[in-house]
Structure 1
Amino acid sequence: MLGCFAWGRYVGSLGLFFLFLSGAALADHSDRVLRIGVEDHAFYPLFSFTGDEQKKSVLETILECFAEQYDVTFEYVPLPITRFKHWYEKDHIDFRVPDNPLWNSEQSESLKFSEPMMYLSQSTVVLAENQHLRLQQFERLGTLYGFTPSQHWQSRIESGELELVTDSSIKLLIRLLYSGVVQGLDLDIAVVRHYAEELGYNPEQLVLADGIQQSTIGYRMSTLKHPALLKQLNEFIATHEHKIQSWLDAKGINAVGE
């Protein structure tokens, strides 16, 4: 279990309300609950907002420790990724996590973004026997429903040369990979290995396709109305860089930089 510097208290409200107390006061926000829109599925160990203290994700730990230090109260609001672009206008949230300017071409001018809290690896996870497949040899690729495929796959998907198989269950996608229905998963390898192990598979059988381009994308916090808090978060990220890295190392998350 990842540890913070002080302590946090979980308050149950549909299993997704967290109250964090202690640390230095942030006067502008300490008297109200700030609503953070989060994806309504788990992507552990990167993010998972279930309130399970024994299975806390890195992104949740970062936000919890920030909240403790700056006396902020967060409510995590699980929302469907298919309505991601409409969360602010429809669901009255204060922040969105994770977020990135690349996902917001229509709103990028009005949205403000923090510095990256951590990075997602955009890579192709395959069984070890398929490690040397080249991009042109892939015929079926899996990813989560609502996720945007990595850029290097786009032209083959659009031309019909590559079939994109999507599902809302990462465990189903992993079963499809092990059974050969798909040749690879366009997902972070640390996440795929975690759920493969839960299913009873040997995670060491999962590797990155060495002939496919790898890239990373930063997980940031966005807001329309609270840039001052983002400034505080940026300070927190900068001053706790080594602590955050230790949490990432503990979970086997190796993506660095964009």
Structure 2
Amino acid sequence: MRNTIKKLACFVLLLCAFTTSALSNEEKVYRVGLEDVDYYPMFTKIDERSKTSFLVDVMELFAERNGLKFEYIHLPVTRFDEWYQQDDIDFRIPDSPIWSVKTDNLVFSQGIIKLRADTVVLKQDESKPLSSLKVLGSLYGFVPGPHWRDHISAGHTKFIYESSMSVLVRMLKKGMIDGLDVSIFVVHHYAKHLGYKPEDFVASSQAPSTHFSYQLSTMSYPEIIKDFDAFLVASQNEISMLKQRKNIFDVK
């Protein structure tokens, strides 16, 4: 009888140990903060998440290669600097040191795609002098590029904001504004969607610009950032194919 009780006790202990181990190894779902803005093909608003955006495609390829699982949380860009503290996220994408005021505890990945913050104008205005760019459009929550700060402070340039890229592209096409402080790839996507010729929208040759990259950031998982950096190197061909599908490319 005592042997039977001992065997039963051992079985229960083994079962508990197995259950505890299984629970501890249960797959963690990492929360990734995304800007809830109309900015396809880079990323999308929450109500358009059925469309596969470039950054989510990259993250899902990384997850597949590394046995990870991500949940994408669309958050207001106006609270961008507070996402980690207020919204309990594990990662933020896209991110860049040039946007983030609070960077002390942030770890950034290498660049996912190299971009240049240009001023998009109509083709016929490509060579117009900088002094003619008096009113520029951008999305709510976006911050003017650092190359525009002095012009804004001096009162030479004014920014207006809308919640829709389609509205901004229409405003530029109709001459209601002089340019757009957004990605030219995004402008081309919405121009085509609106029935305009994408080639009619170009980067101003006279306006200042800034080079930067879209990066992944975290406060809590620097080891995953290291894995992500290794993934970016090992998966260059696959990522290049994702860029081609979305008609975007690295800017030199």
TM-score by length of 1: 0.82
Among 138, 143, 150, which residue is 1:143 paired with?
138
Change (3 A) 1:30 1:136: farther
Letter paired with 1:61: D
The answer to whether residue 213 in structure 2 is matched with residue 215 in structure 1 is no
Change (3 A) 1:74 1:190: same
| Larger Rg over CA atoms | 2
The answer to whether residue 75 in structure 2 is matched with residue 79 in structure 1 is yes
Q: Which residue number in structure 2 is paired with residue 160 of structure 1? A: 155
Contact 1:30–1:73 under 8 Å retained in 2:
no
Identity %: 37
Letter paired with 2:119: T
Q: Which residue number in structure 1 is paired with residue 236 of structure 2? A: 241
Alignment of 1:93-112 (within 5 A): 93-105=89-101, 107-112=102-107
Q: Which residue number in structure 2 is paired with residue 125 of structure 1? A: 120
The answer to whether residue 192 in structure 2 is matched with residue 197 in structure 1 is yes
Q: What's the CA shift for 1:77?
A: 0.5
CA distance in 2, matches of 1:251, 1:214: 23
CA distance in 2, matches of 1:237, 1:30: 26
CA distance in 1, matches of 2:49, 2:178: 34
In structure 2, the gaps of 5 or more residues are 1-23
CA distance in 1, matches of 2:100, 2:149: 18
Letter paired with 2:95: D
3-state SS of the aligned residue for 2:98?
helix
Q: Which residue number in structure 1 is paired with residue 61 of structure 2? A: 65
Change (3 A) 1:215 1:150: same
Q: What's the CA shift for 1:29?
A: 8.3
Q: Which residue number in structure 2 is paired with residue 114 of structure 1? A: 109
Is the helix fraction higher in 1 or 2? Answer: 2
Q: What's the CA shift for 1:182?
A: 0.5
Among 172, 179, 182, which residue is 2:174 paired with?
179
In structure 1, the gaps of 5 or more residues are 1-27
3-state SS of the aligned residue for 1:102?
coil
3-state SS of the aligned residue for 2:167?
helix
CA distance in 1, matches of 2:151, 2:167: 24
Q: What's the CA shift for 1:108?
A: 1.2
The answer to whether residue 246 in structure 2 is matched with residue 251 in structure 1 is yes
TM-score by length of 2: 0.84
CA distance in 1, matches of 2:210, 2:84: 28
